[in-house]
Amino acid sequence: MTDGANPWVSRPANPEPTATHVAVEPVQQPSGPTAPQRGIPAPSVQLPVVDRAPLATLCWLGVHGGAGESSLSQLVPNWPAAGHMWPHAASPTPTRVVLVARSSMSGLQAAQAAATQWAAGLVPNVEVLGLAIVADAPGRLPRPLRDFARLVGGGVPRTWSVPWIESWRLGEPISLPDAPREVRRMVDELNTLTQTGAVGTTD
């Protein structure tokens, strides 16, 4: 039996391989400063800066107790939580950090202080990619908190909103595939930002 092809027409022994393209997730353009600035006064409250061995490509820095950085660190195995201290590593490239705060007024004030500490140049060899604001309660934020969150977000390159996740509160296992769309989108953007040459990062 034959496959029905014309035997007098030659065919290549193997088809040419099809090129594959890896899609790069588009990210938010920076809406705030991407580096420290001159003339920014030091905040009255500052997080400590500690010497650490070079961390992974990114770490989550909780700006206050209970911010949620430990939960976020479970989404990607090699993105650890830095606790409540700025990691300083003797490395040729800066440590990339995402600030993490609750959406309460006290949490946002702590985020503002941490962003000001970084903007004033008091945190050496650290690049802040943005701020993750973790919901402190179900439902829509009251307007005063929304307005203040927008103000605080203006002090960092970009912000992400992490919604209230009841399963996290109950201590159930945390995994990226099961996370809400907003969280998966945030991780996709951070994956892109941590790639060499991504917009808004330091090579």
Per-residue confidence (pLDDT) for residue 27, from 0 to 100: 74
Calculate ∠ Cα 28-32-37, nearest 5°. Answer: 140
* CB distance 127 to 202 below 8 Å: yes
User: 28, exposed or middle or buried, with CB in 10 Å at 0-12, 13-18, 19+?
Assistant: middle
Dihedral, CA atoms, 161, 70, 35, 160, nearest 10 degrees?
-10
pLDDT digits (tens, 9 = 90+) for 83-96: 899 998 888 889 99
Per-position b or e across 49-74, b if 16+ CB within 10 A of its CB:
beeeeebeebbbbbbbeebbbebbbe
53 compared with 19, residue with greater pLDDT: 53
Amino acid code (one letter) for 182: E
pLDDT digits (tens, 9 = 90+) for 126-161: 999 999 999 999 999 999 999 999 999 999 999 999
